[in-house]
Amino acid sequence: METTNQVANTATPEDQIPQAPQKETKWYVLRVISGKERKVKEYLDKEISRGGWSEIVKQVFLPIEKVYKVQNGKKVMRERNYYPGYVMVEVVDGKLGDDLKDAVKNTPSVIHFLGKENPIALRKTEVNKMLGKMDEMAESGGMSMSEPFIIGETIKIIEGPFNDFNGIIEEVNDEKKKLKVTVKIFGRSTPVELNYMQVEKIAWHIKQYHNRTNFPVNKKQRDAAEWSASFYL
């Protein structure tokens, strides 16, 4: 008597149901009042849920980075908006209708879409760069300084044998978090190597640095320059 080995069909009904293709999305940029980015995200999340747009608006995205500054010899950490003054919205392609646009534009602290009355979607390369940068920061767990050290900047030494001396930064090694600083001792310039935790910024010099920074004065130029430059920082 012959026996036939049969392979059992172990597929579940769920496995046999064809999966719906994932819908293409577009990313739009909102210009918002600086400092109100988190509030805008909260307002939009609530409005999208209330208006029944949850299937259309995939996410309201606020890129965040962890930064620190040295204060009294201690690291003071906080979260900072990676693109200050901007909030990103991911929407199903072709579904950004007038009702949704109006609801977004009328959200408190929203100034306008990038493109204003005709919102411009980000290019895929821009989206990939933005999301890739966020993934990279999350995986590395690294933090950057909220106010980076600058060559030529005067700093105050707060730890070690040169405590309370001022020095001028000659080199910055951000990877090792070290500085080469020139300190004047008895009228002679002496080079010393210090780590970030041994020095502190002098507020006046921070202000001077920002005052020296050239930036477009025309508001339209400033908006465009801020957004374009942000992808190359």
DSSP string, 76-103: EEEEEESSTTEEEEEEETT---HHHHHH
Asked if 111 and 192 sit in the same domain, the reply is no
> b/e per residue, 117-144, with b = 16+ CB within 10 A?
eebebbeeebbeebeeeeeebeeeeeee
* Nearest residue to 29 via CA among 160, 233, 224: 224
Shared-domain flag, residues 108 and 184: no
Does residue 227 lie in a domain region? no
| CA-only gyration radius of the chain, Å | 26
Number of domains in the chain: 2
DSSP state of 6: -
CATH of the domain at 205: 2.30.30.30
Between strands 144-145 and 64-71, the pairing is parallel
Q: 170: domain range?
A: 154-211
Residues 54 and 119 in one domain: yes
Q: Say which CATH number the domain at 55 has.
A: 3.30.70.940
Q: Does 116 lie in the same domain as 76?
A: yes
State the residue for tokens 């957004």.
Answer: 227
> Which residues, in sequence order, are bridge partners of residue 189?
184
Query: Residue 14: inside a domain, yes or no?
Result: no
168/131 same-domain check: no
119 within a domain of the structure (yes/no): yes
Domain boundary among 121, 146, 171: 146
Shared domain check, 83 and 33: yes
* One domain, residues 177 and 126: no
Does residue 55 sit in the same domain as residue 36? yes
Q: How far apart are CA 27 and CA 142, in angstroms?
A: 27
Per-residue pLDDT of the chain (233 residues; tens, 9 = 90+): 444 454 445 555 555 555 555 789 999 999 999 999 999 999 999 999 999 999 999 999 998 887 777 676 676 777 888 889 999 999 999 999 999 999 999 999 999 999 988 999 999 999 998 888 888 777 655 556 667 788 999 988 888 888 888 999 999 987 788 899 999 887 888 899 998 878 888 764 444 444 444 444 445 444 544 454 444 33
Query: Quick one: pLDDT at residue 32?
Result: 95
